Amino acid sequence: MTIKNIIFVGLILLGVVIAMVPENTTKPYKLTAEQMLVEVQGAAEMVTADEVAHWIIEKDPTLQLIDVRTPDEFQKFHLEGAVNVPISVILKDEYRDYVDQGVKMNVLYSNGTLGSHQAWMILRQLGFQNNYVLQGGLNYWFDTIMNPEKPASTSPDEEFAKYDFRKAASGVFGGGSEATLTAPVQTEAEKPVIKRTQKKKAPAGGC
């Protein structure tokens, strides 16, 4: 998906989310629609399937995968180590410690990008940080990581290196590949820095 397509989809999602989210009186929104538009246009919330595969294989302790699909979909298949927080209940207090924290980097995912992007927009509009979206969702994950397509013979070396990593990663995740994972993928961007949340001050006074 090109940056132009991401921005276009993001603009549509922004309008949908603003229209669908009810008025919030207990958790006031911290970002305006204009601020959200700037963030969506930058597409900084997206992380690639290659990056996520690398972090899972490396057993990165700061990675937290959040599956925003239904419990039934989650039971049928989910990424290793993921927790299920359906978008329909993502604003409930019992899930607050998952989506609003300063210890881990959350990667939200759904079958495509629509559901996870909606969840990200809702959380971001509330001012929550450290939440990102798996680009392309599980559909793209299966196409690239679980069933990588060998590049054409005229492709540049970096495409073959990426294919070798994906083929080996497929074996790690149960795809049946016999390739050996010898080196980490060369990701296009560094891992986002986790933003620490400020601790709430204890009320003054006491017994």
Q: pLDDT tens-digit profile of 68-106? A: 999 999 999 999 899 999 999 999 999 999 999 999 999
| 146 inside domain | no
179 belongs to a structural domain:
no
pLDDT for the residue 184? 44
Q: In what order do the strands lie in the sheet with 131-134?
A: 46-47, 131-134, 105-109, 63-67, 83-84
Each residue's pLDDT tens digit, 184-194? 444 444 677 88
177 falls within a domain: no
Q: CATH number of the domain at 90, please.
A: 3.40.250.10
Contact by Cβ (8 Å): 10, 117: yes
Pair of tokens at residue 103:
């210890």
Q: Give the pLDDT confidence of 6-19 residue by residue, as tens digits.
A: 445 554 554 544 44
**Number of structural domains, the chain?**
1
Quickly list DSSP for 50-99.
HHHHHHHHTT-TTEEEEE-S-HHHHHH---TT-EE--GGGTTSGGGHHHH
Q: What is the mean pLDDT of the chain?
A: 80
Domain-located, residue 186: no
Range of the domain at 71: 3-141
Domain for residue 36, yes or no?
A: yes
- Residue 30 domain-assigned (yes or no): yes
Asked if residue 185 is part of any domain, the answer here is no
Give pLDDT, residue 31.
72
